[in-house]
């Protein structure tokens, strides 16, 4: 089946399938025609899941679908839908399409995202800035919002929001991305509390610095628009190979598996956090561990600002 058109750290391969079994599960993955989204889809299919992937470019999406179909074999299904997650009408039809093929849909991975315009805030293209926020933040909210009734009805579900460096540190010159990703993570934390009584886990995933087309955008923008320090880090990242997308895909696989049930409202780094050991520390996660928070003077050993 070709894409449908819609308006507007340690385990690999078979070991991964055994450790985070996704048999009989199905997932909707946005932005999955290339890059990390496609890597996540591969990981899910290898682990036994059926997937519905979406993207904005039909040609790229069809190539991804063909690859996943070959990987899936006869026991898993792959559906592809062209969609724009920043458009509410498109999202409505996307979700209807996904649920028509997978009425038992178990998981959503909101991966679709862009950097947006780069440069100082007073000089960047405002329409481009707004569009980046619409894709990164509004897009992830729209798809999650559309699937919440389904997950509530089932009394179970998994939502994974893609965070990123912008959620945890300022990114001068890439403000649309930074602001939207911080919003994505805070939304995930908020939605997690809303859906906890319904058996739905919502978490944010930070995949690390990946060598994708988004890195090429930073290099093309140059130090004049993203700053010399960030540009130099991007060059070093390109030369080193960056973070392995497979590690982020493995974390996504864990977060939609039964093994992560009850882990909720967290921002987890695929690269830096010992997420494959979280089950040993589940009781410690009922705290502000792995969440966004304000740092006060006492957190840094300072004695001012106290009552």
Catalytic site residue from 115, 156, 177, 231: 177
Place of tokens 């790229």: 60
**Number of other residues whose CB lies within 10 A of the CB of residue 203:** 27
Active site residue 177: yes
- Count CA within 13 A, CB hemisphere, residue 276: 15
For 89, the enclosing helix (H) or strand (E) is helix 88-101
Output the CA–CA distances (angstroms, integers) from residue 273 to 29, 248, 268, 269, in the order listed: 23, 11, 6, 5
Question: Residue 263 class from Cβ within 10 Å (0-12 exposed, 13-18 middle, 19+ buried)?
Answer: buried
Q: What are phi and psi of 214, to 5 degrees?
A: -70, -35
In contact, 98 and 30? CB cutoff 8 Å: no
Active site residues: 177
């Amino acid at each position: 089946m070709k894409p449908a058109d819609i308006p507007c750290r340690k385990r690999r391969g078979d070991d991964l399938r055994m450790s985070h079994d996704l048999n009989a599960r199905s997932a909707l993955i946005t932005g999955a025609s290339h890059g990390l989204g496609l890597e996540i889809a591969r990981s899910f299919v290898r682990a036994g899941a059926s997937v519905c992937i979406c993207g904005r470019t039909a040609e790229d999406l069809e190539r991804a679908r063909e690859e996943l179909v070959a990987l899936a074999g006869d026991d898993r299904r792959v559906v592809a839908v062209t969609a724009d997650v920043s458009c509410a009408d498109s999202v409505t039809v996307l979700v209807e399409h996904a649920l028509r093929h997978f009425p038992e849909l178990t998981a959503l991975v909101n991966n679709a995202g862009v950097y947006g315009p780069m440069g100082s805030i007073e000089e960047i293209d405002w329409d481009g800035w707004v569009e980046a926020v619409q894709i990164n933040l509004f897009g992830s909210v729209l798809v999650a919002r559309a699937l919440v009734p389904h997950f509530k009805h089932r009394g179970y579900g998994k939502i994974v929001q893609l965070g990123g460096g912008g959620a945890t540190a300022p990114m001068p010159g890439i403000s649309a991305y930074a602001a939207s990703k911080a919003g994505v993570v805070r939304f995930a934390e908020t939605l997690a509390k809303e859906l906890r009584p319904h058996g739905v886990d919502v978490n944010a995933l930070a995949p690390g610095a990946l060598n994708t087309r988004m890195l090429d955008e930073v290099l093309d923008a140059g130090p004049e628009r993203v700053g010399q320090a960030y540009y130099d880090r991007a060059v070093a990242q390109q030369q080193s190979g960056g973070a392995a997308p497979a590690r982020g895909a493995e974390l996504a696989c864990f977060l939609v598996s039964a093994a992560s049930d009850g882990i909720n409202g967290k921002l987890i780094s695929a690269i830096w956090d010992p997420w494959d050991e979280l089950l040993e520390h589940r009781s410690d996660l009922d705290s502000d561990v792995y969440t966004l928070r304000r740092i006060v003077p006492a957190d840094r050993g300072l004695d001012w600002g106290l009552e």
